[in-house]
Chains A and B, each alone.
Chain A
Amino acid sequence: MLNNIKGFRNFYTKATAFSLAFIFSAFLSFAHEHGHKSEEANAKDTAHAVAEADTNHATHAAEEAHHGAEHGTEKFDAGKMIMEHVADAHDWHLWGHTSIPLPIIIYSSEKGLDIFSSSKFNHGHDNYNGYRLEHNTVVAVNEDGTVNEELSANLWDISITKNTASLFISLILMLFIFISAAKAYTRNPNTAPKGIQAIIEPIIIFVRDDIAKASIGPKYKKFMPFLLTVFFFIWINNLLGLIPIFPGGANLTGNIAVALSLAVFTFVIILINANKNYWMHVFAMPGVPVWVLFLLTPIEILGVFLRPFVLMVRLFANMTAGHIIALSFFSLIFIFGEMNAAAGYGVSVFSLAFTVFMTCLELLVAFLQAYVFTLLSAIYFGSAIEEHHHAEEHH
């Protein structure tokens, strides 16, 4: 039960954070009510709930869910379902109770490196080798089965999660697509593009002419590999995320770790390439009185870090929000279906229509986010290598 409550609270917070309440207000009012109730309930018995529930609730909830599903009486929990779909996992869920177990790779200073299949955890039911799966996170446990907080904090978990597996799949896909396209280019030089070339060529030219050349200027060539890679990486992974079944379905680009890594790559490239002019605009904006600089320089320094941060948040929030909205429309069917079978069927028509509409919109967003990330990276690169050309402006 507590797991459900947490799921709802999680979902409620996220939904509000993304300011998307207006789109699915009907569903949200539902979640809202439940959220408040559970918060109150939570507040009342925090004292004893936290102590024991925190260690056991995952196991209990999973058992409950398991039994519930077996008897067909499981209460549908939209928040939990959505979070499960949006978040990372240690196995790749296919259908029903079937999922692909993924390898757990974990290093701790005490026990060293451990590699084993996530099926050993039996979906969080079992302990294995002094580890347990809790909230989709591997924690260390003591002999008596309680969580060893100290050791858990020092675990290095580089497991192949669902998102990591999806990352590898997209990696292979990209290598296959672009290397075979490159071969086609070198095999038949100076001919009209065919097949896979014809699909990617307009996009490559779009990235080159409308993003790189337009934003960076004549020195664009140096940044082309990164811009093209990041564009196609985001786009292909966004599209894979829209495929509901294996090998798609992982919310890779909507994962904050992925968005963070991409933003860090952009940030590092900016730092490596930034010239004197760029730093001068950060630390001592030319043509600005000294007393203003006291105000401006901190803002500019903040801006240096804010730019990649905003890149990260934009990609993460857009992709995750898209998944959440589509799943929310889908959840409406089951929420109404629990009230009344007829209501469920009635709502399903509208829900399906909206889900299809949202998925179409997500197709656009998939391209748009890849474009925006690439364009903003290119603009930042352009400003980092911009030459000093308005020195006399302030006189």
Chain B
Amino acid sequence: MELVKPAFGLIFWMFVSFALILFLLKKFAWKPILEMLDEREKTISDSLNSAQKAKEEMTALRAGNEKLLQEARNERDNLLKEAREAKEMIINEARAKATEASDKILASARENISNEKMAAITELKNYVATLSIEIAEKVLKQELADPNKQKELVQTLLKDTKLN
């Protein structure tokens, strides 16, 4: 029964060796390895958590951006609308002013025209009167150049003028 009889020498060496390796490995291997494993697991879970957080932040940020964009769009629309209104107003105003100005010009032109016309008519009248007198003078001169004619005229006039 050599097999089941534990040998003292081997038990002795086994205790010494196993205690030694337990001590050495505990100090120089298991402690750093287990610490590093824990640390790495912690790092990984932290990283995952922060990634999740970042994702949530991104979503929140995207929602914020969307809101900002919507506001900007609304403002742009408002601005455009206001600008359009301003444009309309300016155009209308300008048009009104232009009409007014042109009306005034037309009115003064018309007045001038009528004034000029009246002046022209007056002048024409005066000229026609002068001309008529001259013509009458010339005609009279020609008619009364012959003394016989003068006598005849006097005779006629005398005849018409019945002495009563």
Name A's B-contacting residues (CB within 8 A). Answer: 10, 13-14, 83, 86-88, 105, 135-136, 156-161, 163-164, 167-168, 171, 174-175, 178-179, 181-182, 185-186, 189-190, 201, 204-205, 208, 221, 224-226, 228-229, 233, 255-258, 260-262, 264-265, 316, 320
Q: For the complex, is B7 an interface residue (Cβ under 8 Å from A)?
A: yes
Residue numbers in A under 8 Å from B86 (CB-CB): none
Cβ–Cβ contact A228 & B30, under 8 A = yes
* Contact of B9 with A229 in the complex, beta carbons under 8 Å: no
The answer to whether A257 touches B11 (Cβ under 8 A) is yes
Which of B35-43, B96-104, B126-134, B153-161 lines the interface with chain A?
A: B35-43
Q: Among B12, B34, B40, point to the contact of A189 (Cβ < 8 A).
A: B40
Contact residues in A for B7 (Cβ distance below 8 Å): 88, 157, 161, 255, 257
Closest-by-CB residue of A relative to B28 is A179
B63 within 8 Å of A (CB atoms) = no
Give the distance in Å from the alpha carbon of A262 to the alpha carbon of B15 in the complex.
8
B136 nearest CB across to chain A (Å): 136
Contacting pair B21 A256 (CB below 8 A): no
Q: Complex formed: what's the CA distance from A86 to B2 in Å?
A: 10
Question: Is the pair B21, A174 in contact by a Cβ cutoff of 8 Å?
Answer: yes
Is the C-beta of B145 less than 8 angstroms from some C-beta in chain A?
A: no
B51 lies within 8 A of chain A by Cβ: no
Query: Dominant SS at the B interface?
Result: helix
**Could you show 30 A-B contacts with beta carbons less than 8 Å apart?**
A10-B1, A83-B3, A87-B2, A88-B7, A105-B9, A135-B2, A157-B7, A161-B9, A161-B10, A163-B10, A164-B9, A164-B13, A167-B13, A167-B17, A174-B25, A175-B24, A178-B33, A182-B28, A182-B33, A186-B32, A189-B36, A201-B37, A204-B33, A204-B37, A224-B34, A255-B6, A256-B4, A257-B8, A257-B10, A316-B4
Q: Taking CB as reference atom, which chain A residue is nearest B34?
A: A224
A131 to B28, CA, bound (A): 42
Q: A256's contact among B6, B33, B40, by CB below 8 Å, is which?
A: B6
Residues of B near A168 (CB, < 8 A) are 17
CB of B94 closer than 8 Å to a CB of A: no
Residues of B within 8 A of A87 (CB): 2-3
Given A229-B30, A265-B18, 13 more pairs with CB closer than 8 A: A135-B2, A158-B8, A159-B9, A178-B28, A179-B25, A179-B29, A182-B28, A229-B26, A255-B6, A255-B7, A256-B4, A257-B14, A261-B15
Greatest chain A CB density within 10 A among B2, B8, B37, B43 is at: B2
Nearest CB of B to A142, in Å: 23
Q: CA separation between A229 and B40, bound complex, in Å?
A: 22
Q: Is the CB of B14 within 8 A of A258?
A: yes
Assembled-state Cα–Cα distance A229/B25 (Å): 7
**Size bracket, chain B contacts:** 35 or more
Chain B residues 26 to 63 lying within 8 A of chain A, measured CB to CB, are 26, 28-34, 36-37, 39-40, 43
Whether the pair A260, B8 counts as a contact (CB closer than 8 A) is no
Do B18 and A158 touch (CB < 8 A)? Answer: no
Indicate if the CB atoms of B29 and A178 lie closer than 8 Å.
yes
Q: Which chain B residues border A221 with CB–CB below 8 Å?
A: 34
Q: At the interface, yes or no: B79 with Cβ under 8 Å from chain A?
A: no
**A233 and B14 alpha carbons, distance in the complex (Å):** 11
Instruction: List, in ascending order, chain B residues with CB within 8 A of A179's CB.
Output: 24-25, 28-29
CB < 8 Å: which of A167, A182, A208, A226 contacts B32? A182
Contact pattern, B 141-156, Cβ under 8 Å of A = 1, otherwise 0: 0000000000000000
A189 proximity list for chain B (CB < 8 A): 36, 39-40
Across the interface, which residues of A come within 8 angstroms of B31, CB to CB? 225
* Chain A residues, CB < 8 A from B5: 256
- Kindly provide the distance from the CB of B28 to the nearest chain A CB, expressed in whole angstroms: 5
Contact of B14 among A175, A201, A261 (CB under 8 A): A261
Please, how many angstroms separate the alpha-carbon atoms of A185 and B29 in the complex? 9
B68 at the interface (CB under 8 A from A): no
A229: which B residues are within 8 A, CB to CB? 18, 21-22, 25-26, 30
Smallest distance from the beta carbon of B154 to chain A beta carbons, Å? Answer: 155
Q: How far is the CA of A175 from the CA of B10 in the complex (A)?
A: 20
Assess whether B90 is interfacial by the CB under 8 Å rule: no
- Closest residue of chain A to B4, judged by CB? A256
